[in-house]
């Protein structure tokens, strides 16, 4: 997020295209040129597909041109294993469709890259997914005649983070791609959301790769088609929220509450509405100071949430990537 | 916190006597009858000692009569190992003094109880401390002649939580106390704070034991002298904050900001000040709803923070409990 | 194993009644008075039921009078999840039968005790089982009207080991039993075998409780009906072998090889046969010395083996203890 | 070990040059052409330096031409933290000398590669070392002006194993080397020994890199100067022993016992001595069969041993690689 965009004015950190679009819409109701959106629900699973088709649309919402699919399951944190299986199945189907839409062939060789720091629970999503997906590439290399039909070549790595390796993650992935020559990279990463409710209940699929500055850890170089030479599909799950975002949202909602509830208070409304942006940011900073102002927070139950959603993604990927694995019974292939 | 108290009116969940006192003072400036307080600083380490001496004082701040010592080290999360050593040494000295003040003899047998769920990182403080303290009781039992002078009998258990064992933690501890007959129980627990800045930077020592409803996990029965028959000293570290508390604090600070900053807005101030309590709670609820309203959050780096502060407490306890261990070099006795 | 018995003469450490019986039989072929045995196979699962009915039988094989059921599955380490499910189902049925034979009622309240040290992988079987069994006692206590029929009260604890707690494990369990008042204790423990092939492929069920000196860790007091006042059923899995046992077995087999293979060597046979016991032990010691003579070893893959067999036992216990859980589909109830 | 060598005749699996040399010497006393050796002791720390200088020497002991330094500390498993510090200091000094002897400059950029499977405790040595060494390369890249003098560029990765990634470890390392351009690779790996006593008490340093088939995991391609284009120094610690090796050693020692002890038994000696190699191997196989014949074993306490020796290597590497770190106080730089 180096270039200035509308989102920054609202000082809200989000890695979800869905939230970026929501935020802009809140302040600029009406259709956004260059941004198409459709959404539907299936018994507690909410799907939203956003296409950013122009540079104008990209600038408006601060996300790169591309396709973004978001699966939201508000009740996902309730430890309901039947719902988890349904979400894995749905994710598998959507991901398979996404691959088809992106023009990825059924025999394309895939490298799954689990981004993030395995020592920081809310950042460990990628590495946990990597540990749980079915890896097959070595069978194709070592005993190609014995691989059953319906499987494709899948490899998987967790490259670590800069603070652990001393090497840009992007460079490590680049080196591995050059040696192992996949046709597609799938990068799994933990994200920041602006809403606690979306943490560990939402999965985003995007064909834009992983861009600098996104995700829970720090990245300075992208993991994209430009860098790697092969397409990169990113799978992200918000696992953290900036504390400043919570405060900011609180203030927004307080203002909108007064607007709705207190008829007579024209004066306040005027004052709040006309608060200059910089005043507003100073206000948020002031409020934040005693709260520990650049803290990033995650739900208390993060250990279990991460484990559950990583299993959903791993089993969904297994079903989506291998025709031999039935997408109606995906859970059996992960432990 | 079953009985109604002033704190509840402000709907803020805190396990720290220090914060309870602050909250009441914010709304009722001036001396609180039945609550004595002194505080001082030593190069970045802030000490506050609160004595709740009467029932009136207890009701006012919603904490049981007793002694509370709070050690705050705002920079503790900066990974500065020299500061960590200083804090361990300071904690050891304060704890030793606390034992003396509470009338605990130098040969009293101690059982350390690590409360909380080891599978939930922000609740794992107690079990991690238990794993790291020096346990000596079995040497006294098995080869009493060979124990060097300067050590006392220390045992340590992590009883788990109700959801893991199916048994009230309090009952498990009671059973172990009856069989192993310590003279003192030290209970270590993770707490909830009202301020993110205090999370993993603050240690509270109290002679009131562990009371129902306190801490990160759920407890329905206390771990107190009444239940166990021996004194219970509680050591607590706030590791989580209720999201509702962050929102609530944001609103409070917004109000106080307007009070200070905007001279002319008498009308607003009046309105905000006279917001009825129930309106105010409804407002907080409304604001919270989209944030996931009963979520409890913890900093992203909780794995490392918990490890660090557990080491401080374990090494501090080793120095405070055994005369043979020099409180100026406490770190060497834990790994 | 404080009292002298025939087994000790062969200097082989085993916690399995099956192996104790084998060892004695090797040297004293023919029926053993006071020891009854039956065995059968079901497609790769071998069952042996031994009843030690008299003191004489007990002395002969060095195991307490009681019932011992052993389930051996030589191929269990092959990572075959279908076989694992079959073993869990078989274990559930055998355990249910064992409960019935022991006169345990279908509503008897059960406390599962996971013995062993969770920091030592081959000794962590008990704690891992405890973490994975379904715990229900608190539902009966907190909302008895809402518990579905077909479940019984189950609680579960991992008391730790003497070196971690400073308290005899037996005393901790005794305290918890006195407070929580179960009708039956099921104690799960890692054992020592004399044969590497049995490590992590064998489950023993016994109604004799846990006796001093058995298992991977050190125990000086038993966990038995005599101590606790309620029956104790022990579930054990060999996870280690003494290196001395491997050497000893090698020598035994070398001798028996020469006996079979080399007709003409009467002299050698005579010499080997008449090797005095103490010469023999010295020989083993001498051979062992450069190998690290009291080392206890475990297979390299112990992490995975322990996880797998703990899951089998946990899901088998769930099915055996609750009528509502179908023993043909036990795996679904554990993760 | 694809090419036939003398060692194979004795059917003993070892990754230590020291043991390979011992084995050959046992059977062929006297100086070995092409193999130079010197050894000395320093208060419980035993050093052996072996140079394999010719192809003939290499064939004789089945190890590549190169320099091998072995540090043996029989008492290392006794949990003596002072001894551990001494070993770390000694290892640091020997490694520094080894670097100098190998012609590595003081500013050479180093990539530390932690080989092995982090999910298999006895194979996790490399990954644990990697997590604990000081990584500095990113500081040089991001803020070169602020790096204090006395440090060099160090990066570190754990590439995983074939079964986890689907990619040859050698290829992953090659890709990372090509992108990050170190001047030297240090590869840390867990090894197999022929003697339980050497497990977790011995460190080998070699300038031959990592060769196919060595180590605890399976490797089919080397990690060598030929493959990577930069020198590779291997650090190895034996963490496992093949069960067959224990049996084999037992038989060897039994034979040598009879040779020494029983004067009159010419006949036996003759028979044992003249046992043909193939008879002998069959004998070992026969003996092994009931023991689970291709099992690899590790000490029960492997979790703790691995942690301790990984800390020694990590702190030793920190001191050896950075002049600013004092080799007399190495422990302070690792946690």
Q: For testing the chain C interface, which of D75, D201, D259, D291 should be mutated: the one with the most C CBs within 10 Å?
A: D291
The answer to whether residues C205 and C326 belong to one domain is yes
Instruction: Give the nearest partner residue to D300 out of C197, C240, C304, using CB atoms.
Output: C240
Asked if the Cβ–Cβ distance from A291 to B196 is below 8 Å, we say: yes
Q: For the residues C69-88, what does the mean pLDDT come to?
A: 93
Mean pLDDT of C274-282: 57
Same domain, A239 and A249: no
Residue B39: beta bridge partners? Answer: B48
Kindly indicate the confidence band of residue D331, based on its pLDDT and cuts at 50, 70 and 90. low
Tell me whether strands C232-242 and C202-206 are parallel, antiparallel or unpaired. antiparallel
The nearest CA of chain B is from the CA of C59 a distance in Å of 29
Nearest chain C residue to B133 by CA: give it: C164
Q: What is the structure's pLDDT at C272?
A: 54
Distance (Å) of CA B278 to CA A260, B23, B281? 18, 18, 5
More confident position, C2 or C100: C100
Name the residue facing D175 among A131, A135, A179 (closest C-beta): A179
Residues D233 and D137 in one domain: yes
- CA–CA separation, A111 and A108 (whole Å): 10
CB C133 within 8 A of CB C243: no
The rounded distance, in Å, linking the Cα atoms of C190 and C128 is 11
Residue A110: name the closest of A168, A153, A58 by CA. Answer: A153
Cβ neighbors of D76 (< 8 A, separation 6 or more) are D83, D84, D87, D200, D201, D308, D309
| Partners of residue A283 in chain B, C-beta under 8 Å | 254, 257
Chain D residues lying within 8 Å of A156, measured CB to CB: 164-166
Return the pLDDT at D11: 54
- In percent, the amount of chain A with pLDDT more than 90 equals 59
The answer to whether C79 and C210 are in contact (CB under 8 A) is: no
pLDDT at residue D268 is higher than 70: no
Using CA atoms, how far apart are residues C97 and B300, in angstroms rounded to an integer?
49
pLDDT digit string (tens) for B42-90?
Answer: 999 999 999 999 999 999 888 999 999 999 999 998 888 899 999 999 9
Q: In the predicted model, is pLDDT for residue A10 greater than 50? A: no
* pLDDT, average across residues C22-32: 77
**Residues of C whose CB is below 8 A from B181:** none
Q: What is the residue-wise DSSP string for C98-144?
A: HHHHTT--TT--EEEEE-S-TTSGGG-HHHHHHHHSPP-HHHHHH-G
Q: Which tens digits make up the pLDDT trace of C109-148?
A: 999 999 999 999 999 999 999 999 999 999 998 888 888 8
CATH number, position D303: 3.40.50.1450
- In a shared domain, residues C232 and C251: no
In this structure, the answer to whether residues A228 and A321 fall within a common structural domain is yes
Q: Which residues of C touch D196 (CB under 8 A)?
A: 243, 291-292, 295, 297
Q: How many CB pairs under 8 A join B and C?
A: 95
- Identify the pLDDT of residue D319: 95
What average pLDDT does this structure show over B155-170?
95
Q: What pLDDT shows up at residue B201?
A: 94
Cβ of A179 within 8 Å of Cβ of D177? The answer is no
Residue A78 predicted with pLDDT over 80: yes
Angle at C151 between CA C145 and CA C157, to 5 degrees: 105
**Contact (CB<8Å) A297/B292:** no
> d(Cα C88, Cα C86) in Å, to the nearest integer?
5
Higher pLDDT, C7 or A244: A244
pLDDT in tens, B214-259: 777 766 789 999 999 999 999 999 999 888 777 777 776 666 666 6
* pLDDT at A245 (0 to 100): 77
Query: Mean per-residue pLDDT for C101-111?
Result: 94
Of B138, B154, B174, the CB nearest to C162: B138
Q: Quick one: closest CA in D to C124, which residue?
A: D300
- Between CA C323 and CA B155 the distance in angstroms is 40
In angstroms, the CA C129 to CA C158 distance is 9
Question: DSSP secondary-structure letter at D310?
Answer: H
Residue C278 pLDDT exceeds 70? no
For residue D329, what is the DSSP state? S
Same domain for D173 and D213? yes
For residue C100, count other CB atoms closer than 10 A to its CB: 11
Nearest by CB to C295, which of D121, D196, D290?
A: D196
Q: Does the pLDDT of residue D3 top 50, yes or no?
A: no
- Are the Cβ atoms of B172 and C166 closer than 8 angstroms? no
- Residue to substitute from A249, A297, A302, A305, interface B, most B β-carbons within 10 A: A297
Instruction: Quote the distance between the C-alpha of residue B245 and its chain's center.
Output: 17
Per-residue pLDDT of A35-44, as tens digits, reads 999 999 999 9
Q: Name the token pair of C41.
A: 């196979």
At residue A9 the predicted structure's pLDDT band, cuts being 50, 70 and 90, is: very low
Mean pLDDT of B254-266: 58
Contacts within 8 Å (CB) and 24+ apart, C52-59: C52/C17, C57/C32, C57/C33, C58/C34, C59/C3, C59/C5, C59/C6
Q: Is the pLDDT of residue D122 over 50?
A: yes
- Owning domain of residue B278: 245-291
Domain shared by B125 and B251, yes or no: no
3-class DSSP assignment, residue A66: strand
Question: Neighbours of D (≥3 Cβ pairs closer than 8 A)?
Answer: A, C
Give the residue from B276, B291, B306 where a domain finishes: B291
Mean pLDDT across A86-105: 95
CB contact (8 A) between residue C174 and residue B179: yes
A283-298: pLDDT as tens digits: 666 666 655 546 889 9
**Sign (positive/negative) of CA torsion A275, A277, A282, A287?**
positive
Tens digit of each residue's pLDDT (9 = 90 or more) over D212-255: 777 777 667 899 999 999 999 999 999 998 887 777 777 766 66
Alpha-carbon span D252 to D250, nearest angstrom? 5
Clarify whether residues D282 and D141 are in a common domain.
no
Chain D positions contacting chain A at CB under 8 Å are 119, 131, 135-138, 141, 153-160, 162-168, 171-172, 174-180
Q: Do D177 and A176 touch (CB under 8 A)?
A: no
Q: What would you report as the CA-atom Rg of chain D, rounded to the nearest whole angstrom?
A: 21
| CA-to-CA dists, residue A136 to A144, A145, A277, A315, angstroms | 10, 13, 53, 14
Q: Which of C166, C172, C223 to mutate to test the interface with B (most CBs of B within 10 A)?
A: C166
Smallest CA–CA distance, residue B192 to chain A, in Å, is: 11
Which site among A167, A177, A220 would you substitute to test the D interface, given the most D Cβ atoms closer than 10 Å to its Cβ? A167
Q: By three-state DSSP, how is residue B173 classified?
A: helix
CB contact (8 A) between residue D138 and residue A167: yes
The verdict on C181 and C262 lying in the same domain is no
Over range D4-33, report the average pLDDT: 71
User: Which pLDDT band, with edges at 50, 70 and 90, does D130 fall under?
Assistant: very high
> How many domains are contained in chain A?
2
**Cβ <8 Å between A157 and D172:** yes
Q: Are residues A211 and A283 in the same domain?
A: no
ipTM: 0.88
pLDDT confidence of residue B14? 84
> Do both D229 and D261 map to the same domain?
no
Average pLDDT, integer, range B191-200: 88
Give the sign of the dihedral formed by CA B309, CA B310, CA B316, CA B319: negative
Q: Which of A30, C322, C272, C246 is nearest to D295 (CA)?
A: C246
Same domain for C301 and C183 = yes
Cα dihedral B19, B25, B28, B29, rounded to 10, equals: -170
Query: Higher model confidence: residue B81 or residue A12?
Result: B81
Over 70: is that where the pLDDT of A71 sits? yes
Report strand pairing: D66-72 vs D154-157. Answer: unpaired
Among A223, A216, A222, which residue's Cα sits nearest to residue A237? A216
User: Checking DSSP bridges between strand C110-114 and strand C154-157, what pairing results, if any?
Assistant: parallel
Tens of pLDDT, residue by residue over D272-293, are: 555 555 565 566 666 665 555 4
Average pLDDT (D178-202) is 93
User: Nearest chain B Cα to A201, which residue?
Assistant: B292
**Sign for the pseudo-dihedral over CA of B64, B65, B67, B70:** positive
């Amino acid at each position: 997020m180096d270039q200035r965009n509308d989102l920054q004015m609202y000082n809200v950190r989000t890695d979800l295209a869905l939230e970026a679009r929501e935020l802009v819409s809140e302040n600029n109701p009406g259709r956004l040129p260059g941004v198409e959106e459709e959404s539907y629900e299936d018994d507690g699973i909410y799907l939203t597909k956003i296409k950013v088709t122009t540079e104008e649309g990209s600038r408006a919402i601060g996300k790169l041109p591309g396709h973004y699919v978001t699966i939201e399951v508000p009740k996902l944190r309730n430890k309901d294993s039947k719902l988890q299986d349904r979400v894995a199945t749905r994710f598998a189907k959507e991901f398979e469709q996404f691959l088809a839409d992106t023009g990825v062939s059924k025999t394309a060789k895939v490298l799954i890259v689990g981004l993030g720091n395995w020592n920081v629970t809310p950042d460990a999503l990628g590495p946990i997914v990597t540990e749980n997906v079915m890896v097959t590439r070595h069978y194709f290399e070592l005993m190609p005649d014995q691989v059953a039909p319906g499987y494709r070549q899948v490899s998987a790595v967790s490259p670590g983070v800069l603070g652990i390796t001393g090497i840009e993650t992007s460079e490590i992935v680049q080196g591995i791609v050059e040696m192992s020559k996949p046709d597609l990279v799938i990068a799994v990463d933990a994200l920041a959301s602006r809403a606690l409710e979306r943490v560990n209940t939402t999965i985003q699929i995007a064909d834009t790769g992983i861009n600098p500055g996104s995700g829970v850890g720090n990245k300075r170089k992208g993991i994209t088609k430009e860098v790697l030479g092969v397409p990169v599909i990113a799978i992200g799950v918000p696992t953290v929220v900036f504390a400043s975002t919570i405060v900011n949202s609180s203030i927004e909602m307080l203002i909108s509450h007064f607007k709705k509830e207190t008829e007579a208070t024209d004066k306040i409304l005027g004052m709040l509405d006309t608060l200059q942006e910089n005043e507003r940011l100073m206000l948020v900073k002031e409020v934040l100071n005693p709260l520990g102002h650049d803290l990033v927070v995650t739900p208390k139950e993060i250990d279990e949430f991460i484990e559950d959603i990583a299993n959903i993604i791993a089993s969904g990927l297994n079903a989506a990537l291998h025709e031999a694995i039935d997408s109606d019974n995906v859970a059996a292939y992960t432990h």
